[in-house]
């Protein structure tokens, strides 16, 4: 940097670091600077540098060099791919290194202080040593932290000589390692051999290095060391990262780490416009209802893209189309309308998981179901999981999985200690703390609880911009859907045969009075999330028979103490009495049916056969037919049988309602369900206590949050059913 001969007052203000022109003028008077008149508009003064003291001249030169270095470094940083080997000298290369450049400027500052010290105290060896002691003692703490305490006065003298010879601060830059930077012993043939090995498969670098060295020996080339090979490979992986990733790690890694991402604006999507479906293997164990053994279940979730709200889900032990349909049905009921677009993962893994490896959804008979509901179906690209925000949601859901007592970890490296081999202590501790796999019902409840918590969290990093998913969802929720239509289309279905104890489904018994006299296969439709204790029963022609109830949940002759009359409590004895009464009622009904059949069919036919037989055996002249005469005892017996049959029919036809005070229920929801069925489905008149309880429970937050929609739908279905009967009649 060439220093100018004269400077204006304004220029010296910036160079000397003063805020006012008066400071420059006072210093000029004190140091007796010579001046000249500045030509041009306004006039003014210029100061001759040659008339300034040496310390001021050094300060001006240092400031000019510092500014020149910064400008040149900024200019070089904007040049595209400037190779260090193309720079004119190692000193020039040091400009591109911030650390080296800043250290050179610190050396220049310390050298300026050293020269000022000599000008003030002399240039003797004693004063030079005194300056170094002052520096090492912390007189200039910032420079000491930058350069370290290893600076001697001989180093300062060398810096002074280097700067004088070069005429600039650049000479003080550390040039070690720059002379051979970018140079290598590896020729183009070496590089070809290295690429041929490291890009062929997924071999370790150490294995490739040994093969490369043997190839070089065979071709009589200089043999590079392991460090040289690794250094070249490291540079190649940084400068050719896309090729390196594609060859070494495959297309999935290339897509995740190299391909540009398409940034989607989900704020343009309304609630219910796009519903995304995906599966996730839960990282905790639940009891498989089919085998009774712990298993990591699969969660199939429908997720609203507009509000980021989890709509409907199914927990599957075995994957099938019915589970997906069930989850979609719940999503539509929760959404209150049918989604416009259903976003599915149509990749090979998804098809193999849920559709037994079918080639496409059309062959599974799956897409037609959505199109009938007015939904368009689009598919995610293979290997593009980042295009679905539900993947990010599953990552957030990991906090739920960690809190479960049967947590298994998200991969092998992070599984709990109790699952490692020979960890008997941790297994005993796990059992001692009472931790166990969740039941399927507990899994649903735990998921519902966490989903509700998630929906109430504000999201600042997404398109919701501080709003909660629950608020956004409620603002865009629909008025409701045709539940009966969804029920017929999407409930899970099983073929079961009726037995004397009802219908057995997933280890549970379901019973209804209408099944008592039937023994044939039936179609059972169910949804454990919306109605966990009831199933809908249809015959194979599609005619509805009844809504059967879980015997253990509703206490229908189930859970009876083996010795209730002797060892049981009052409640257990009442349960036994009710079970015996139900059995006796069935017996009376069966006998009444036999009596009716005997009176109306069997006895008249038997008497007719007797009369016909006598007429054939004894031919007599035709006589006037007379009715068979009965004795008074026979007439009394027949009348008594008719009365008993009428009484039995009346008992069967009367609504089977008993006040809830005389029954036992696990909770208030079960008691309300019993009273709802008695009042609205059986037409029974409730006692005042039961009517008051129903009114109380309907006003509770629990009912309004969890059950109000369900029972309103049931009332609507009953209304439609009765209207259908009236129209048929």
Give CA separation, 539 vs 501, 545, 591, in Å. Answer: 18, 7, 26
Dist CA 603 CA 335 (whole Å): 62
**Distance between CA 80 and CA 73 in Å, rounded?**
13
Give 253-263 pLDDT, tens digit per residue: 888 888 887 78
Both tokens of 504, joined, read 């057995």
705-714 tens-digit pLDDT: 888 888 888 8
Is residue 360 predicted with pLDDT exceeding 60?
no
Beta strands 376-380 and 341-345: pairing type?
Answer: parallel
Phi, psi (rounded to 5 degrees) for 33: -75, 145
292-332 confidence digits (pLDDT tens): 888 888 888 899 988 999 998 888 876 566 677 778 888 88
Measured CA to CA, the distance from residue 124 to residue 126 in angstroms comes to 5
| Rounded to 5°, angle at Cα 655 from 650 and 660 | 135
pLDDT value of residue 548? 93
Q: In this predicted structure, which of 1-15, 221-235, 538-552, 619-633 has the lowest mean pLDDT?
A: 619-633
- Round the average pLDDT of the chain to a whole number and report it: 78
Residue given tokens 């290295």 in the structure block: 194
- Predicted structure pTM score: 0.48
Distance CA 42, CA 453 (A): 74
Average pLDDT value for residue range 515-538: 84
Antiparallel, parallel or unpaired: β 309-316 and 531-538: unpaired
Question: The tokens 């290194």 sit on which residue?
Answer: 97
Q: In which band, very low, low, confident or very high, does the pLDDT at 562 lie, cut at 50, 70 and 90?
A: confident
Are 537 and 497 in contact, with CB atoms under 8 Å apart? no
Are 190 and 145 contacting, i.e. CB atoms less than 8 angstroms apart?
no
pLDDT digits (tens, 9 = 90+) for 596-644: 777 777 777 776 766 665 555 555 454 444 445 566 666 776 676 666 5
Q: What pLDDT is recorded for position 113?
A: 86
Q: Identify the pLDDT of residue 384.
A: 63
pLDDT recorded at residue 581: 85
- For the stretch 261-282, pLDDT in tens is 778 888 888 998 999 888 888 9
pLDDT the model gives residue 498: 92
User: Phi and psi dihedrals of 194, rounded to 5?
Assistant: -65, -45
Report the 10 Å Cβ neighbour count for 502: 24
> DSSP for 213-245?
HHHHHHTT-----HHHHHHHHHHHHHHTHHHHH
How confident is the model over 423-479, as pLDDT tens digits?
Answer: 888 888 888 777 888 888 888 888 999 999 999 999 888 888 889 999 999 999 988
* CA-to-CA separations, 208 to 84, 186, 197, 203, in angstroms, rounded: 29, 16, 6, 7
Q: Which two tokens stand for residue 628?
A: 């068979």
Asked if residue 299 lies in contact with residue 322, where contact means CB atoms within 8 angstroms, the answer is no
Report the distance separating Cα 431 and Cα 433, nearest Å. Answer: 5
Q: Is the pLDDT of residue 489 over 70?
A: no
């Amino acid at each position: 940097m060439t220093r100018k001969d004269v400077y204006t007052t304004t220029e010296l203000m910036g160079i000397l670091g003063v805020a006012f022109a008066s400071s420059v003028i006072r210093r000029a008077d004190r140091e007796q600077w010579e001046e000249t008149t500045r030509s041009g508009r306004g006039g003014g003064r210029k100061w001759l540098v040659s008339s300034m003291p040496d310390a001021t001249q050094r300060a001006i030169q240092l400031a000019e060099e510092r500014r020149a270095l910064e400008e040149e470094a900024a200019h070089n940083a904007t040049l595209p791919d400037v190779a260090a080997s193309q720079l004119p000298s190692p000193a020039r290369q040091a400009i591109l290194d911030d650390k080296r450049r800043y250290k050179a400027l610190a050396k220049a500052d310390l050298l300026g202080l050293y020269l000022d010290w000599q000008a003030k105290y002399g240039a003797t060896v004693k004063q030079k040593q005194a300056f170094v002691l002052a520096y090492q003692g912390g007189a200039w703490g910032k420079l000491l932290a930058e350069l370290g305490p290893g600076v001697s006065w001989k180093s300062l003298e060398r810096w002074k000589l280097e700067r004088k010879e070069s005429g600039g601060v650049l000479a003080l830059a550390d040039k070690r390692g720059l002379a051979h930077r970018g140079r290598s012993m590896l020729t183009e043939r070496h590089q070809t051999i290295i690429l041929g090995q490291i890009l062929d498969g997924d071999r370790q670098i150490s294995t490739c290095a040994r093969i490369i060295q043997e190839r070089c020996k065979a071709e009589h080339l200089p043999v590079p060391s392991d460090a040289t090979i690794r250094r070249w490979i490291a540079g190649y992986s940084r400068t050719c990262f896309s090729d390196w990733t594609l060859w070494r790690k495959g297309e999935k890694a290339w897509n995740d780490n190299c391909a540009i991402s398409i940034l989607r604006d989900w704020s343009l999507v309304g609630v219910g416009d796009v519903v995304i479906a995906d599966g996730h293997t839960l990282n905790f164990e639940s009891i498989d209802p089919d085998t009774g053994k712990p298993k990591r279940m699969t969660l199939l979730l429908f997720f609203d893209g507009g509000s980021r709200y989890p709509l409907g889900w199914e927990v599957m032990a075995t994957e099938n189309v019915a589970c997906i349909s069930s989850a979609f049905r719940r999503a539509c009921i929760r959404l209150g309308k049918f989604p416009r677009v259903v976003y599915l993962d149509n990749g090979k893994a998804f098809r193999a998981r849920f559709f037994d490896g079918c080639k496409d959804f059309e062959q599974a008979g799956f897409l037609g179901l959505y199109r009938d509901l007015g939904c368009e179906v689009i598919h995610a690209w293979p290997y593009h999981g980042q295009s679905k925000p539900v993947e990010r949601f599953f990552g957030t859901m990991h906090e739920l999985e960690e809190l479960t007592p049967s947590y298994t970890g998200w991969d092998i490296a992070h599984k709990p200690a109790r699952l490692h081999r020979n960890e008997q202590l941790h297994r005993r501790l796990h059992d001692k703390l009472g931790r166990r796999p969740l039941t399927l019902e507990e899994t649903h409840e735990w998921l519902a609880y966490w989903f509700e918590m998630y929906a109430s969290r504000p999201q600042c990093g997404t398109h919701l911009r501080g709003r909660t998913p629950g608020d956004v969802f409620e603002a865009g929720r629909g008025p409701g859907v045709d539940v009966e239509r969804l029920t017929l289309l999407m409930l899970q279905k099983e073929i079961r045969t009726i037995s004397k104890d009802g219908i057995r489904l997933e280890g549970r018994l379901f019973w209804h009075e209408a099944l008592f006299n039937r023994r044939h296969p039936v179609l059972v439709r169910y949804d454990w999330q919306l109605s966990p204790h009831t199933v809908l029963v249809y015959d194979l022609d599609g005619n509805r028979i009844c809504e059967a109830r879980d015997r253990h949940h509703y206490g229908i002759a189930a859970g009876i103490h083996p010795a209730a009359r002797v060892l049981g409590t009052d409640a257990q004895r009442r349960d036994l009495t009710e079970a015996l009464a139900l059995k006796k009622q069935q017996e009376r009904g069966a006998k009444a049916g036999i009596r009716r059949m005997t009176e109306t069919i069997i006895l008249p036919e038997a008497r007719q056969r007797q009369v016909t037989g006598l007429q054939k055996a004894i031919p007599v002249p035709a006589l006037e037919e007379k009715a068979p005469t009965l004795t008074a005892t026979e007439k009394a017996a027949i009348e008594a049988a008719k009365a008993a049959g009428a009484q039995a029919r009346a008992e069967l036809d009367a609504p089977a309602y008993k006040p809830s005070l005389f029954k036992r229920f696990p909770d208030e929801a079960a008691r309300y369900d019993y009273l709802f069925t008695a009042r609205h489905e059986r037409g029974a008149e409730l006692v005042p206590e039961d009517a008051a309880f129903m009114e109380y429970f309907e006003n509770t937050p629990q009912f309004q949050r969890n059950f109000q929609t369900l029972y309103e739908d049931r009332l609507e279905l009953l209304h439609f059913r009765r209207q259908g009967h009236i129209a048929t009649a």
